[in-house]
Every structure is written in C-alpha cells, then in structure tokens.
Amino acid sequence: MNLAPVAPVDLPAVLRWSEAGEARSAIWRSESGSLPPRRVVIADDRTSADLAFRLARAGTGLVWRGDFQNARQLLQAMTRRVERLESKPGPNASHAEAFSRHRQMQARRAQTLAMLLMPLNPDYSVPLRRAPDLRAACEEAYGPPGNLAEGASVVALRELLGLIGAHEWRRQGVPVAALDERIHPHYGVFAPIRGEYVDLVAQAPLPGTALAFDIGTGTGVLAAVLARRGVARVVATDQDVRALDCARENIARLGLKQQVEVVAADLFPAGRAPLVVCNPPWLPAQPSSSIEHAVYDPDSRMLRGFLDGLADHLMPSGEGWLVLSDLAEHLGLRSRAELLALFDASGLKVIGRVDVRPRHPRAADSGDPLHQARAAEITSLWRLAACQRAGASQASAQGCSVASSTSTL
C-alpha cells in the first residue's frame, strides 16, 4: 500500500532555560514573529533597572518571577533608558531620512523591551503576585487555551500589555461619528480611530445604491457606512482571519447582516459592482508586527493589486473609491507622479477627488519626529473609473489620469 507523504506540521517555538538547577521550557509567543532569545536569566523584584536594561540590550531574555506590578514599573524604567539613547534627526535631515531613522529606533526599542518576559499558565492565568486576570484578553489574541495541547507559555510583557489595551478597545468600542455607533476592533485589526477617512466615504456622492464591494474591510467600518447610506448589498472582503471575525461581529452588532456579506478573499470577490471601495495601507514599507499590516504595505502590494484588478470588477458606469493618505509622498516613499502612473498603467482615470486634513493629535505634535510630514498630510478619496467609460479615443486624447473636480471637507 502506498502512503501519501505527510505534510510537515509547524510546531510552536519553544523557549528553553535553566532555573534552580533544572531545565525548563515553555511555548514562545510573539506576534511580531521574533525568535526566542538564546540566553535567558531569571529576574525578580531585586533586579535593578540598569541591570535589566544592560541584559536586554545584549539580547538576554529575563523571565520574571517577581510582582507583576513591579514588572510594569521596571518596563517603564527600561523605556526611559531606551529613550535617552535615541537621537533625533538633524535639522537638515530629509523627511525620508527622518522616517528611516524613526523606523530604526522603533525596531531597536521593540527588540530591547521585548526581553522582559512573563510566564503564562496553560489557561492563560499569570502565576505572579498582583497579576490581573488576563485570560479573556489572551484568548481573544491566541485562541482558546489548550486547543493545541499546549502547556505553559512565555510572552513579552510589552506584548501582554498590548493585549490588555486591545481587550479594552474591543470591550468598549471606538466611536464612529459617521455611524453614530461604536465599532469594536479585535486584537490585530486596525481600529478606525482616524475618523476623517471614514467621513470621506460617508459623504462622497454614491454612483449607485444597488451593490458595493469593500476591499480589505478590516473592522467592517466602511461596509457599515455604505450600508447605512442605503447601499442595498455590500460584499466586504479580507484575507485575515481576525479581520473577518471582527467584521462579521461588528456587522451583526449593527444589525446589518441582511445588507452586508463578509467573505474571505485576497482583494476582490467574484463579479462586478457599480462601486468598489478600498482603504489600503498608506505607507509602502515593511511591517514588523501583525497590527502594522494595516499601516505598511510592502512594495505597495495591496495598492497595486487593487488598481490592477479594479477595471475588471467595475460595472460600465461604476466608480472605484481609493482612500489614501499622501503621507508617503511627504516621507519620500512614493511620489504623486508614481501614484498617477499606477492609475494609468491600470487603465484608470481620475474623475474626482475629495480631500480632508487629518485631525489626529500627532498632526499637531511638534515633538513627533515626523511632525513636518504629518502636518502637511492630506487624506484623499480618489474617484476612479475605467478608461473605456470615456471612450477609447477620448481617453487617449485626454490621458487616463487627468484629475477633474477636487473638493475639500
């Protein structure tokens, strides 16, 4: 009898160390996908911030055995030491240089602070004094305990605190003025805290109300806005499991299941629609964690994929709405000419654009290393149509990417 080869199983990474003369091990958890540290020591309430910082900078993991709240204070002390070593770009540095320096400092900070490690029991409880109950927060991020017959695990305190924040956002929700409701983001799914891009979709003139596609729906917020505006059927897509679960939960919570269908797809669903909306990640750079996939789009993969496939998924008189910040242009990561060239190469023309200035606190924070670029940022809703809409000869004469009317919110 011939047996088919068995596909290899991806086993979870394991952290190994020695404690009290005994070999120890635990499942290694890291949302950024980092490898477990090769060297590990035990730390507790007697460990000084200077010693912890030196060990962490050298890549040594510190498994914490002391009081949980003391560990939080130690992490804050380590953060202050990291900040003292960080240098701001010089006054003559370009925006691109400032962004590159900013990303490098973020990476070094994350790498160092991720060395303070917290133990988790198999049920996600924390076996430390004064530890909060984090079981619900961990289950939302990691899934039900024991679903892979896993035992105890270890996670960076910094990541664990992120789980706590995400759990509170999911529980309380984020207010969305365009819906007069709250959207509840899941862990690893970008929260719609920048309301201006939602307002663009809420106010742009609809080309029709029969059907719309929402590409890369995330929390489902834009699909919900379209449904509330009267679009009879919205097909919302995403390829991330967390995003799909999040969008379905929000759509159900808002009572929109009859109008909105959430489906798993890499960009487009089957068929054509009179309106196709996409809010891709705004910066063409490499993400370093799952949540950053909503901000950073390596090589503009999602942007290019949306533009390349848009004409084939639009009805003859349909519009594609691209919601995009020009922050990448101010940071020297992509020029306006390059963006317009992408439109043209995809057989698209610009039939309108609506602009809005950002209202988030960073835009007015002069201490932010990217302040100049953020202060100049504009978020736009580009109204795109297939060139055939104007006729081949007219499109050729006018140029596919000639922008028409522009308005500002």
Give the rounded percent of residues in the chain with a pLDDT score beyond 70: 81
Classify residue 39 as exposed, middle or buried by CB count within 10 Å of its CB (0-12, 13-18, 19+). Answer: exposed
Residues 214, 116 share a domain:
no
Strand (E) positions, 107-206?
116-120, 153-156, 174-176, 181-183
Strands 153-156 and 60-64: unpaired
Comparing 308 with 144, which gets the higher pLDDT? 308
Residue 94 parent element (H or E): none
Most confident of the following: 91-100, 273-282, 353-362? 273-282
Torsion sign (Cα): 146, 152, 155, 157: positive
Stretch 364-385: mean pLDDT: 74
The answer to the question of residue 367 being in a domain is yes
pLDDT tens figures, 143-170:
888 654 558 999 999 999 999 999 999 9
Stretch 244-268: mean pLDDT: 97
How many structural domains comprise the chain?
A: 2
d(CA 195, CA 211): 24
Strand (E) positions, 149-299?
153-156, 174-176, 181-183, 211-215, 233-238, 260-264, 273-278
Give the rounded percent of residues in the chain with a pLDDT score beyond 90: 66
Tokens 């605190």 belong to residue: 161
Residues 259, 161 share a domain:
no
pLDDT band at 238 (very low <50, low <70, confident <90, very high): very high
The answer to the question of residue 1 being in a domain is no
The answer to the question of residue 5 being in a domain is no
pLDDT band at 47 (very low <50, low <70, confident <90, very high): very high
Q: What does the pLDDT read at residue 371?
A: 55
pLDDT band at 86 (very low <50, low <70, confident <90, very high): confident
Sorted by sequence, the CB contacts under 8 Å of residue 315 that are 6+ apart come out as 272, 273, 274
Q: What does the pLDDT read at residue 197?
A: 92
Q: What does the pLDDT read at residue 93?
A: 61
Above 50 in pLDDT, residue 7? no
d(CA 391, CA 163): 53
Q: What does the pLDDT read at residue 88?
A: 66
Residues 194, 152 share a domain:
no
d(CA 178, CA 73): 39
d(CA 75, CA 209): 52
The answer to the question of residue 398 being in a domain is yes
Residues 239, 94 share a domain:
no
Comparing 263 with 283, which gets the higher pLDDT? 263
The answer to the question of residue 7 being in a domain is no
Q: What does the pLDDT read at residue 194?
A: 83
The answer to the question of residue 255 being in a domain is yes
Domain-ending residue, one of 123, 149, 168 = 168
Residues 188, 159 share a domain:
no
Above 60 in pLDDT, residue 297? yes
Residue 96 parent element (H or E): helix 95-113
Q: What does the pLDDT read at residue 395?
A: 43
Residues 217, 186 share a domain:
yes
Q: What does the pLDDT read at residue 2?
A: 39
Residues 195, 337 share a domain:
yes
Residues 217, 127 share a domain:
no
The answer to the question of residue 3 being in a domain is no
Q: What does the pLDDT read at residue 258?
A: 97
pLDDT tens figures, 344-366:
999 999 999 999 988 765 555 55
Mean pLDDT of the chain: 86
Residues 142, 249 share a domain:
no
The CB-side HSE value for 71 (13 A sphere, CA atoms) comes to 28
Range of the domain at 98: 14-168
Domain-ending residue, one of 126, 142, 168 = 168
Q: What does the pLDDT read at residue 106?
A: 81
Above 50 in pLDDT, residue 73? yes
Residues 284, 237 share a domain:
yes
Residues 257, 141 share a domain:
no
Residues 277, 164 share a domain:
no
The answer to the question of residue 124 being in a domain is yes
Beta carbons within 10 angstroms of residue 101's beta carbon: 18
Query: Which CATH number characterizes residue 223's domain?
Result: 3.40.50.150
Domain-ending residue, one of 144, 168, 192 = 168
d(CA 332, CA 163): 33
Comparing 97 with 145, which gets the higher pLDDT? 145
